[in-house]
Structure 1
Protein backbone atom coordinates (compact mmCIF):
# COMPACT_ATOMS: atom_id res chain seq x y z
CA UNK A 1 0.00 0.00 0.00
CA UNK A 2 1.22 3.47 -0.90
CA UNK A 3 1.95 5.62 2.21
CA UNK A 4 0.54 8.75 0.51
CA UNK A 5 -2.88 7.11 0.14
CA UNK A 6 -3.18 6.56 3.90
CA UNK A 7 -5.05 9.51 5.42
CA UNK A 8 -2.91 11.34 7.92
CA UNK A 9 -4.23 12.09 11.39
CA UNK A 10 -5.72 15.59 11.92
CA UNK A 11 -2.92 16.66 14.26
CA UNK A 12 -0.35 15.93 11.57
CA UNK A 13 -2.38 17.89 8.97
CA UNK A 14 -2.58 20.86 11.34
CA UNK A 15 1.18 20.65 11.92
CA UNK A 16 1.78 20.72 8.14
CA UNK A 17 -0.49 23.76 7.74
CA UNK A 18 1.28 25.57 10.59
CA UNK A 19 4.69 24.76 9.11
CA UNK A 20 3.57 26.06 5.70
CA UNK A 21 2.29 29.27 7.27
CA UNK A 22 5.55 29.74 9.14
CA UNK A 23 7.51 29.29 5.91
CA UNK A 24 5.25 31.81 4.16
CA UNK A 25 5.77 34.34 6.93
CA UNK A 26 9.54 34.00 6.69
CA UNK A 27 9.57 34.21 2.87
CA UNK A 28 10.03 37.55 1.09
CA UNK A 29 6.73 39.50 0.93
CA UNK A 30 6.54 39.57 -2.88
CA UNK A 31 7.07 35.83 -3.16
CA UNK A 32 4.46 35.21 -0.48
CA UNK A 33 1.92 37.46 -2.18
CA UNK A 34 2.46 35.88 -5.59
CA UNK A 35 2.09 32.42 -4.03
CA UNK A 36 -1.12 33.43 -2.24
CA UNK A 37 -2.52 34.97 -5.44
CA UNK A 38 -1.83 31.78 -7.36
CA UNK A 39 -3.61 29.83 -4.63
CA UNK A 40 -6.61 32.15 -4.77
CA UNK A 41 -6.75 31.72 -8.56
CA UNK A 42 -6.70 27.93 -8.13
CA UNK A 43 -9.37 28.05 -5.43
CA UNK A 44 -11.53 30.30 -7.66
CA UNK A 45 -11.46 27.71 -10.44
CA UNK A 46 -12.28 24.98 -7.91
CA UNK A 47 -15.21 27.11 -6.70
CA UNK A 48 -16.41 27.56 -10.28
CA UNK A 49 -16.38 23.81 -10.82
CA UNK A 50 -18.28 23.18 -7.58
CA UNK A 51 -21.02 25.62 -8.49
CA UNK A 52 -21.38 24.23 -12.00
CA UNK A 53 -21.73 20.69 -10.65
CA UNK A 54 -24.54 21.70 -8.30
CA UNK A 55 -26.11 23.97 -10.94
CA UNK A 56 -26.37 26.83 -8.49
CA UNK A 57 -27.16 30.12 -10.25
CA UNK A 58 -24.39 32.69 -10.20
CA UNK A 59 -25.15 35.66 -7.94
CA UNK A 60 -26.24 38.80 -9.77
CA UNK A 61 -24.74 42.22 -9.07
CA UNK A 62 -26.01 45.72 -9.85
CA UNK A 63 -23.97 48.52 -11.41
CA UNK A 64 -22.52 49.52 -8.03
CA UNK A 65 -21.28 46.00 -7.33
CA UNK A 66 -23.93 45.20 -4.73
CA UNK A 67 -25.32 41.68 -4.69
CA UNK A 68 -28.93 41.37 -5.84
CA UNK A 69 -30.79 38.99 -3.52
CA UNK A 70 -32.47 36.02 -5.12
CA UNK A 71 -35.21 33.87 -3.63
CA UNK A 72 -33.94 30.73 -1.88
CA UNK A 73 -33.89 27.61 -3.99
CA UNK A 74 -35.06 24.15 -3.02
CA UNK A 75 -31.86 22.57 -4.35
CA UNK A 76 -29.39 21.61 -1.65
CA UNK A 77 -26.57 24.12 -1.52
CA UNK A 78 -23.00 22.93 -1.99
CA UNK A 79 -20.48 22.99 0.79
CA UNK A 80 -19.16 26.47 1.66
CA UNK A 81 -16.55 27.74 -0.81
CA UNK A 82 -12.90 27.91 0.02
CA UNK A 83 -11.73 31.17 1.49
CA UNK A 84 -10.56 33.62 -1.12
CA UNK A 85 -8.47 35.64 1.32
CA UNK A 86 -5.78 34.26 3.53
CA UNK A 87 -5.21 35.10 7.15
CA UNK A 88 -1.81 36.27 5.95
CA UNK A 89 -3.41 39.48 4.63
CA UNK A 90 -2.01 41.64 7.34
CA UNK A 91 -0.46 45.05 7.64
CA UNK A 92 3.09 43.70 7.82
CA UNK A 93 2.89 42.45 4.20
CA UNK A 94 3.41 45.35 1.76
CA UNK A 95 1.35 45.57 -1.40
CA UNK A 96 3.05 45.00 -4.70
CA UNK A 97 2.87 47.44 -7.57
CA UNK A 98 0.65 44.98 -9.43
CA UNK A 99 -1.89 44.78 -6.61
CA UNK A 100 -1.88 48.56 -6.23
CA UNK A 101 -2.50 48.93 -9.96
CA UNK A 102 -5.36 46.42 -9.80
CA UNK A 103 -7.04 48.23 -6.92
CA UNK A 104 -6.60 51.56 -8.73
CA UNK A 105 -8.20 50.10 -11.85
CA UNK A 106 -11.12 48.76 -9.80
CA UNK A 107 -11.59 52.13 -8.11
CA UNK A 108 -11.47 53.94 -11.48
CA UNK A 109 -14.03 51.54 -12.94
CA UNK A 110 -16.32 52.10 -9.95
CA UNK A 111 -15.91 55.87 -10.34
CA UNK A 112 -16.67 55.65 -14.06
CA UNK A 113 -19.78 53.59 -13.47
CA UNK A 114 -20.88 55.80 -10.57
CA UNK A 115 -20.14 58.88 -12.70
CA UNK A 116 -22.32 57.41 -15.46
CA UNK A 117 -25.04 56.71 -12.93
CA UNK A 118 -24.61 60.20 -11.49
CA UNK A 119 -24.85 61.78 -14.95
CA UNK A 120 -27.91 59.69 -15.70
CA UNK A 121 -29.56 60.77 -12.45
CA UNK A 122 -28.68 64.42 -13.13
CA UNK A 123 -30.18 64.21 -16.62
CA UNK A 124 -33.27 62.51 -15.25
CA UNK A 125 -33.80 65.16 -12.56
CA UNK A 126 -33.15 67.92 -15.09
CA UNK A 127 -35.85 66.51 -17.37
CA UNK A 128 -38.20 66.25 -14.40
CA UNK A 129 -37.48 69.90 -13.54
CA UNK A 130 -38.18 71.00 -17.13
CA UNK A 131 -41.45 69.03 -17.18
CA UNK A 132 -42.43 70.53 -13.84
CA UNK A 133 -41.49 74.01 -15.09
CA UNK A 134 -43.62 73.49 -18.22
CA UNK A 135 -46.61 72.40 -16.11
CA UNK A 136 -46.17 75.41 -13.84
CA UNK A 137 -45.99 77.72 -16.86
CA UNK A 138 -49.21 76.22 -18.21
CA UNK A 139 -50.89 76.64 -14.83
CA UNK A 140 -49.64 80.20 -14.62
CA UNK A 141 -50.93 81.02 -18.09
CA UNK A 142 -54.31 79.46 -17.31
CA UNK A 143 -54.44 81.38 -14.03
CA UNK A 144 -53.54 84.63 -15.77
CA UNK A 145 -56.20 84.01 -18.42
CA UNK A 146 -58.86 83.29 -15.79
CA UNK A 147 -57.92 86.35 -13.72
CA UNK A 148 -57.94 88.51 -16.86
CA UNK A 149 -61.42 87.21 -17.69
CA UNK A 150 -62.60 88.00 -14.14
CA UNK A 151 -61.14 91.50 -14.30
CA UNK A 152 -62.76 92.10 -17.70
CA UNK A 153 -66.07 90.82 -16.38
CA UNK A 154 -65.86 93.10 -13.31
CA UNK A 155 -64.92 96.09 -15.52
CA UNK A 156 -67.84 95.36 -17.86
CA UNK A 157 -70.22 95.12 -14.90
CA UNK A 158 -68.98 98.44 -13.51
CA UNK A 159 -69.23 100.08 -16.92
CA UNK A 160 -72.77 98.73 -17.27
CA UNK A 161 -73.69 100.11 -13.82
CA UNK A 162 -72.19 103.49 -14.71
CA UNK A 163 -74.07 103.51 -17.94
CA UNK A 164 -77.35 102.70 -16.17
CA UNK A 165 -76.70 105.36 -13.51
CA UNK A 166 -76.01 107.95 -16.20
CA UNK A 167 -79.19 107.03 -18.01
CA UNK A 168 -81.21 107.42 -14.80
CA UNK A 169 -79.51 110.67 -13.93
CA UNK A 170 -80.03 112.22 -17.36
CA UNK A 171 -83.72 111.31 -17.34
CA UNK A 172 -84.49 112.53 -13.77
CA UNK A 173 -82.55 115.77 -13.53
CA UNK A 174 -81.36 117.17 -16.72
CA UNK A 175 -77.75 118.13 -16.46
CA UNK A 176 -77.53 117.81 -12.66
CA UNK A 177 -75.73 114.69 -11.45
CA UNK A 178 -77.38 112.56 -8.79
CA UNK A 179 -75.76 112.74 -5.31
CA UNK A 180 -75.88 108.93 -5.00
CA UNK A 181 -74.17 108.27 -8.31
CA UNK A 182 -70.52 107.36 -8.61
CA UNK A 183 -69.67 110.34 -10.76
Structure 2
Protein backbone atom coordinates (compact mmCIF):
# COMPACT_ATOMS: atom_id res chain seq x y z
CA UNK A 1 0.00 0.00 0.00
CA UNK A 2 1.38 3.39 -1.01
CA UNK A 3 1.88 5.73 2.01
CA UNK A 4 0.52 8.66 0.00
CA UNK A 5 -2.78 6.82 -0.52
CA UNK A 6 -3.38 6.52 3.23
CA UNK A 7 -5.56 9.42 4.34
CA UNK A 8 -3.86 11.56 6.95
CA UNK A 9 -5.60 12.23 10.25
CA UNK A 10 -7.58 15.48 10.52
CA UNK A 11 -5.11 17.04 12.96
CA UNK A 12 -2.27 16.48 10.52
CA UNK A 13 -4.34 17.92 7.68
CA UNK A 14 -5.13 20.95 9.85
CA UNK A 15 -1.43 21.37 10.62
CA UNK A 16 -0.66 21.34 6.89
CA UNK A 17 -3.39 23.90 6.24
CA UNK A 18 -2.12 26.16 9.03
CA UNK A 19 1.43 25.87 7.71
CA UNK A 20 0.20 26.82 4.22
CA UNK A 21 -1.76 29.74 5.66
CA UNK A 22 1.31 30.90 7.55
CA UNK A 23 3.32 30.75 4.32
CA UNK A 24 0.61 32.76 2.54
CA UNK A 25 0.62 35.27 5.39
CA UNK A 26 4.36 35.81 5.02
CA UNK A 27 4.22 36.10 1.22
CA UNK A 28 3.76 39.47 -0.47
CA UNK A 29 0.06 40.43 -0.67
CA UNK A 30 0.04 40.59 -4.49
CA UNK A 31 1.45 37.09 -4.80
CA UNK A 32 -1.05 35.74 -2.27
CA UNK A 33 -4.00 37.34 -4.04
CA UNK A 34 -2.90 36.11 -7.45
CA UNK A 35 -2.49 32.59 -6.04
CA UNK A 36 -5.98 32.61 -4.50
CA UNK A 37 -7.50 34.07 -7.68
CA UNK A 38 -5.87 31.33 -9.72
CA UNK A 39 -7.29 28.69 -7.39
CA UNK A 40 -10.78 30.19 -7.59
CA UNK A 41 -10.78 30.36 -11.39
CA UNK A 42 -9.47 26.80 -11.72
CA UNK A 43 -12.14 25.45 -9.39
CA UNK A 44 -14.82 27.50 -11.19
CA UNK A 45 -13.75 25.99 -14.53
CA UNK A 46 -13.94 22.47 -13.08
CA UNK A 47 -17.39 23.19 -11.61
CA UNK A 48 -18.63 24.59 -14.94
CA UNK A 49 -17.44 21.46 -16.74
CA UNK A 50 -19.24 19.22 -14.27
CA UNK A 51 -22.48 21.17 -14.46
CA UNK A 52 -22.44 21.49 -18.26
CA UNK A 53 -22.48 17.69 -18.60
CA UNK A 54 -25.50 17.30 -16.36
CA UNK A 55 -27.35 20.43 -17.40
CA UNK A 56 -29.19 18.96 -20.39
CA UNK A 57 -32.80 20.11 -20.23
CA UNK A 58 -35.34 17.50 -19.25
CA UNK A 59 -37.59 16.81 -22.25
CA UNK A 60 -41.21 17.86 -21.82
CA UNK A 61 -44.17 15.96 -23.25
CA UNK A 62 -47.72 17.01 -24.02
CA UNK A 63 -50.78 15.05 -22.88
CA UNK A 64 -50.60 12.78 -25.93
CA UNK A 65 -47.02 11.81 -25.12
CA UNK A 66 -45.39 13.82 -27.87
CA UNK A 67 -42.10 15.52 -27.13
CA UNK A 68 -42.29 19.31 -26.99
CA UNK A 69 -39.16 20.84 -28.50
CA UNK A 70 -37.40 23.28 -26.22
CA UNK A 71 -35.41 26.25 -27.47
CA UNK A 72 -31.69 25.51 -27.64
CA UNK A 73 -29.87 26.75 -24.59
CA UNK A 74 -27.26 29.38 -25.17
CA UNK A 75 -23.91 27.91 -24.28
CA UNK A 76 -21.17 30.47 -23.96
CA UNK A 77 -17.70 29.29 -24.81
CA UNK A 78 -15.24 29.62 -21.95
CA UNK A 79 -13.52 32.97 -21.84
CA UNK A 80 -9.87 33.08 -22.86
CA UNK A 81 -7.41 32.76 -19.99
CA UNK A 82 -6.88 36.01 -18.19
CA UNK A 83 -3.62 37.26 -16.80
CA UNK A 84 -3.46 35.21 -13.64
CA UNK A 85 0.17 35.29 -12.59
CA UNK A 86 1.73 38.14 -10.67
CA UNK A 87 4.81 37.94 -12.90
CA UNK A 88 2.62 39.00 -15.83
CA UNK A 89 1.36 42.11 -14.05
CA UNK A 90 3.49 45.19 -14.09
CA UNK A 91 2.92 48.28 -12.00
CA UNK A 92 4.48 50.60 -14.57
CA UNK A 93 2.07 49.58 -17.37
CA UNK A 94 -0.86 51.96 -17.86
CA UNK A 95 -4.31 50.56 -17.14
CA UNK A 96 -6.34 50.21 -20.32
CA UNK A 97 -10.05 49.74 -20.88
CA UNK A 98 -9.37 46.12 -21.78
CA UNK A 99 -7.53 45.46 -18.52
CA UNK A 100 -10.33 47.16 -16.57
CA UNK A 101 -12.87 44.95 -18.35
CA UNK A 102 -10.78 41.86 -17.58
CA UNK A 103 -10.71 42.86 -13.92
CA UNK A 104 -14.49 43.26 -13.91
CA UNK A 105 -14.88 39.90 -15.66
CA UNK A 106 -12.66 38.25 -13.05
CA UNK A 107 -14.67 39.78 -10.20
CA UNK A 108 -17.95 38.63 -11.78
CA UNK A 109 -16.56 35.14 -12.32
CA UNK A 110 -15.39 35.03 -8.70
CA UNK A 111 -18.84 36.10 -7.49
CA UNK A 112 -20.48 33.39 -9.56
CA UNK A 113 -18.15 30.69 -8.31
CA UNK A 114 -17.84 31.93 -4.73
CA UNK A 115 -20.87 30.05 -3.43
CA UNK A 116 -20.35 26.93 -5.52
CA UNK A 117 -16.85 25.73 -4.72
CA UNK A 118 -16.83 23.96 -1.38
CA UNK A 119 -13.06 23.74 -0.99
CA UNK A 120 -12.60 27.41 -1.83
CA UNK A 121 -15.25 28.32 0.74
CA UNK A 122 -13.52 26.14 3.33
CA UNK A 123 -10.21 27.84 2.57
CA UNK A 124 -11.82 31.27 2.94
CA UNK A 125 -13.39 30.20 6.22
CA UNK A 126 -10.05 28.89 7.46
CA UNK A 127 -8.44 32.22 6.56
CA UNK A 128 -11.10 34.05 8.55
CA UNK A 129 -10.59 31.71 11.51
CA UNK A 130 -6.82 32.12 11.25
CA UNK A 131 -7.15 35.93 11.26
CA UNK A 132 -9.58 35.79 14.18
CA UNK A 133 -7.18 33.55 16.07
CA UNK A 134 -4.41 36.12 15.57
CA UNK A 135 -6.68 38.93 16.77
CA UNK A 136 -7.81 36.96 19.82
CA UNK A 137 -4.23 36.01 20.60
CA UNK A 138 -3.20 39.69 20.49
CA UNK A 139 -6.17 40.63 22.69
CA UNK A 140 -5.24 37.86 25.12
CA UNK A 141 -1.63 39.03 25.29
CA UNK A 142 -2.78 42.62 25.79
CA UNK A 143 -5.23 41.56 28.54
CA UNK A 144 -2.55 39.47 30.23
CA UNK A 145 -0.11 42.40 30.20
CA UNK A 146 -2.80 44.73 31.56
CA UNK A 147 -3.72 42.35 34.39
CA UNK A 148 -0.03 41.84 35.18
CA UNK A 149 0.36 45.63 35.47
CA UNK A 150 -2.65 45.81 37.80
CA UNK A 151 -1.29 43.02 40.00
CA UNK A 152 2.14 44.69 40.16
CA UNK A 153 0.51 48.02 41.03
CA UNK A 154 -1.53 46.42 43.84
CA UNK A 155 1.56 44.62 45.20
CA UNK A 156 3.54 47.87 45.17
CA UNK A 157 0.73 49.69 46.99
CA UNK A 158 0.58 46.98 49.67
CA UNK A 159 4.35 47.01 50.09
CA UNK A 160 4.30 50.80 50.43
CA UNK A 161 1.52 50.63 53.06
CA UNK A 162 3.48 48.02 55.04
CA UNK A 163 6.57 50.20 54.84
CA UNK A 164 4.63 53.23 56.13
CA UNK A 165 3.11 51.18 58.99
CA UNK A 166 6.58 49.92 59.99
CA UNK A 167 7.95 53.45 59.78
CA UNK A 168 5.17 54.77 62.05
CA UNK A 169 5.68 51.89 64.47
CA UNK A 170 9.41 52.52 64.63
CA UNK A 171 8.85 56.27 65.18
CA UNK A 172 6.34 55.46 67.96
CA UNK A 173 8.84 53.14 69.68
CA UNK A 174 11.52 55.78 69.57
CA UNK A 175 9.16 58.33 71.10
CA UNK A 176 8.15 55.93 73.90
CA UNK A 177 11.73 54.99 74.69
CA UNK A 178 12.76 58.67 74.85
CA UNK A 179 9.88 59.46 77.22
CA UNK A 180 10.78 56.56 79.52
CA UNK A 181 14.36 57.69 79.79
CA UNK A 182 13.29 61.24 80.53
CA UNK A 183 11.46 60.34 83.75
Structure 2 length-normalised TM: 0.44
Higher relative contact order (Cα pairs below 8 Å, separated by 6+ residues): 2
